[in-house]
Amino acid sequence: MSARGSEVSVFVRTRPTASFAQELIEYLPDGQTVNVRQWKESRKGVVNNQLNSWSFRLDGVLHDVSQEDVYARVGRGVVLRVLQGYNGTVMCFGQTGAGKTYTMTGATENYSQRGIIPRALQEVFREVEQRSDHTFTVHLSFLEIYNETLVDLLSSVRGCPGPGPGGMAVVEEPGGSVVVKGLSLHLVHSEVEALNLLFEGEMNRIIGAHSLNRNSSRSHCILTVHIESHSRTLSDAKYVTSTSKLNLVDLAGSERLGKTKSEGQVLKEAMYINKSLSFLEQAILALADRKRDHVPFRQTKLTHALKDSLGGNCNTVLVANIYGEAAQIEETLSTLRFASRMKRVRTDPALNEHINPVLQVLKLQKEIQLLKQQLSIHDTLANRTGMSYETLSETQVAEIQSQVQRYLEGSLEEINIVNIKQIQEVFAQFKVAIQQQEQRVRSQLCETYSLVEKTQSSSGTPVAKLQAPKSMVGEVEGCGFGVGVAAPSERHVRPVSPDRTRTRKTKELVSHGKKEATGAGRPAEDVSGPPSQREPEVYELETQDPPVLLPGPREPPRPDSPPSKTEAFEDFKAERGSEINRILKENKAVLLERRARLRELTDAINTAKTEIDHTSSALQQWRERRQSQGQFVSAQGELVLEEEELALVMRLQELKSRYRLLYEEQRSTKAEVSYCHHLVDQCRARLLTEFESWYNESFLLPEEVQAMLRTGGTIRPGLIPLDKALALEEDEQVRCERVRSERLADSPSAVSFYSAHMRSLQRQRSVGRATPQTASQKRSPRDSGRTRLPAILTIM
Ligand code: ADP
Ligand code: MG
């Protein structure tokens, strides 16, 4: 038996007999093959010369073999693996009287004829004594399953707490292991204590057989040895959990209902045994079928209790006990068929190993200490002095901070690398410096714009309305692009275009530049009407969301006064923003299509669920009918279902697999919908951002600013919002502008220069406006001599 990916080991053992049916049962010299022959129609007493024959290849034949040899071949390997932390099961299966109890328990009155259980207990305690590097804790439990009732065979032991009010039940634990709730666990320190418990349990089994009229061969018995081991050495932080258990199972007799001709109590017992053994077979068939993801363990107490002991994460050995006589050949065949099916079950035993966190931490601390020592030896050998691997002190951090500051200012040429910790701190300080600078730029911007606001306020524009553009942006987003713009709401259609207001106002400001600068005039009021009608959005657009300047192909000519944002947005989507708008539309279409699919899937899932419910309840009715009226069992002992019930079973399976498929698709479609949502939102945000930039650039910014940006000239830092520039990082040109403006932020002399330059441009423009414009000049914002200056420029 190997540890990984092995099959269940299966042995056949014959009960010694004087009349061994040599003509029917043949053991081949390979020690693994059993050939069985059976007269055709022998059941009906028809005598003829025809024989059916079968060949079974198993792991070993135990014929005329001593108890000692049986233990050596069947039990020892499993027991030793349990001590290493793997679960193990030894199980006997076969007809009543074929020798299951003899194999498991043996003859209790004769030491040399003791069976696998007492030998296993002896081996466990011998090993526990020998393995001084581990401490072991051993517990025993002894469970009997009789007519689907769980019986604690050790409940009579002194001090046993009893099953509690809820009785006993098989419970699955997280991780797949199974425990019998209410079953007493007994701590044992020696082989003697363990054997006492075994005999106590055996005695209780016999007493039950007499006083409660139970036939011990008609119950299943599971003796479980629970082993927990801990490492005694600190370096080994692993320990094996109590989930390592050895199950020693003596199954009830497997003879068939038809053959025993039972009635009354015996019939009832036989039915329960039939049921549990046929479910055991079903579970085994399901385990053997690698394609099946569900194994019906819960159908009976036996299969449920053995869930973690049949195949799977367990070393499992089965002994098929048979009679050697011709009279029992039919049951012998049935037992061997079961055995060969069991052999197809594959096991994948895994070590039940856990890490003790406390020991693990201690181990790692020790390892760190050792590594530090090695490092310091290495440093000494490499002549590196002053190396430290400890966490930096506050003074050291302050020193690095000062170095980084000086490096950024230029007074320090380079920062010497000392060690990893110091490098990490240098990077951290760079990050801090960048964040501080960003903060500085932001507050400079705020300062600048609050100045603008004050100026506007003093010139008659109500500051309270400065939030207006945000609501407009919100509406556009809320309606979805296209909708909000194509059908503008009241708030979008304004009697006086905000941009127009802004333009006229700027015109006034420019033409009366001097007056404005001294604060003596109120230039905009007569143009833009009473404050309540005026639209302050343009100021907000400039102050809250200053334009990102995108030098690009020449834009369509600027009209005299800029179009409303609603119109402009339509133009933008058709031209400059057409690509991103197309992507947005495509994404929206995909999103709609995925949403529709999601709805379809949800409907289909609901329909499948309803059908599953209907089919399950119909099936349940069948089962109840079968239980009350008895069930058909084939000659091979397999449950025979009526055609209609079988059809329901198939239908249910089909529905369940359909439900699973739909559910999977629904889950992935949900993820796709959410992803598409994200894409659509991103596209919207991008379209809006680019539109704002384009709008400001095309209608609001002085052409000279554009030109200057294109030629690498200087510009006020406030014109480019840092966060917007960061958001459009992939746009290399924008990024360049941001870098330029940041440099400006650190260079006040450039700002003064630019201010002076702008003032002279203003003057030039006010002079230029006297010249009449051609039609094309009117359309071209860039070529226009007269420009609507952004609010920021009016205060210079
Ligand atoms: P089961 O538990 O399968 O019903 P038992 O183990 O009780 O059968 O066996 C029935 C009888 O046969 C017992 O008296 C037992 O001692 C005897 N027996 C079974 N197998 C052997 C064997 N291999 N060697 C000696 N006696 C055996
Ligand atoms: Mg028995």
Name the least confident of 173-182, 183-192, 737-746: 737-746
Closest to 254 measured CA to CA, from 146, 144, 35, 92: 92
What's this model's pTM, rounded to 2 decimal places? 0.50
pLDDT band at 295 (very low <50, low <70, confident <90, very high): confident
pLDDT band at 707 (very low <50, low <70, confident <90, very high): low
For 539-564, what is the mean pLDDT?
Answer: 46
Rounded CA-CA distance 642/331 in Å is 25
Rounded CA-CA distance 542/792 in Å is 8
Write down the H helix ranges in 483-577.
483-486, 498-511, 513-518, 525-528, 537-544, 565-574
User: Is residue 372 over pLDDT 60?
Assistant: yes
Classified as helix, coil or strand, 305 is helix
What is the residue type of 774?
A: T
Name the least confident of 37-41, 529-533, 766-770: 529-533
C-beta of residue 315 within 8 angstroms of C-beta of residue 89: yes
Rounded CA-CA distance 305/328 in Å is 30
DSSP 68-110: HHHIIIIIHHHHHHHHHT--EEEEEEESTTSSHHHHHTB-TT-
- Residue nearest atom 11 of ligand 1, based on CA coordinates: 97
Write down the H helix ranges in 248-383.
257-260, 264-288, 301-305, 329-343, 357-381
360 versus 687: the higher-pLDDT residue is: 687
C-beta of residue 171 within 8 angstroms of C-beta of residue 178: yes
Classified as helix, coil or strand, 356 is coil
Kindly report the average pLDDT of the chain as a whole number.
72
Q: pLDDT tens-digit profile of 89-148? A: 999 999 989 999 999 999 877 888 999 999 999 999 999 999 887 889 999 999 999 888
Q: Which of 18-22, 251-255, 699-703 has the highest mean pLDDT?
A: 18-22
What is the per-residue pLDDT for 29? 93
The upper half-sphere exposure of residue 13, i.e. CA atoms within 13 Å in the direction of its Cβ, equals 28
**Ligand in nearest proximity to the CA of 100:** 1
Write down the H helix ranges in 696-747.
703-710, 722-727, 732-745
**102 alpha carbon to ligand 2 midpoint, in Å?**
7
732 versus 9: the higher-pLDDT residue is: 9
Rounded CA-CA distance 787/509 in Å is 11
- Residue nearest atom 9 of ligand 1, based on CA coordinates: 99
User: Is residue 578 over pLDDT 80?
Assistant: yes
**219 alpha carbon to ligand 1 midpoint, in Å?**
16
Rounded CA-CA distance 214/145 in Å is 11
Which residues line ligand 1 at a C-beta cut-off of 6 Å? 15-16, 94, 96-102, 107, 217, 253, 321
DSSP 457-480: HHTT--GGGGGHHHHHHHHHHHH-
Ligand 1: residue of 12, 96, 101, 102 to mutate (most ligand atoms within 8 A of CB) is 102
What is the residue type of 311?
A: G
Kind plus residue range of the DSSP H or E element containing 178:
strand 178-181
What is the per-residue pLDDT for 210? 65
518 versus 291: the higher-pLDDT residue is: 291
- What is the number of the ligand 1 atom nearest to the C-alpha of 321? 3
Q: Would you tell me the crossing angle of helices 748-768 and 732-745 to the nearest 10 degrees?
A: 110
What is the per-residue pLDDT for 354? 66
Q: pLDDT tens-digit profile of 388-425? A: 777 888 888 999 999 999 999 899 999 988 878 889 89
Q: pLDDT tens-digit profile of 254-274? A: 876 555 555 666 677 777 777
For 150-158, what is the mean pLDDT?
Answer: 89
pLDDT band at 217 (very low <50, low <70, confident <90, very high): confident
- What is the number of the ligand 1 atom nearest to the C-alpha of 67? 23
Rounded CA-CA distance 779/251 in Å is 98
User: Is residue 750 over pLDDT 60?
Assistant: no
Rounded CA-CA distance 788/507 in Å is 7
What is the per-residue pLDDT for 383? 79
Q: pLDDT tens-digit profile of 629-681? A: 777 777 777 777 778 888 889 999 999 999 999 998 998 888 888 888 888 88
Q: pLDDT tens-digit profile of 596-638? A: 999 999 999 999 999 999 999 998 888 888 777 777 777 777 7
| Bridge partners (DSSP) listed for residue 419 | none
Ligand 1: residue of 11, 12, 13, 15 to mutate (most ligand atoms within 8 A of CB) is 15
Rounded-to-10 torsion of CA 480, 485, 491, 492 = 150
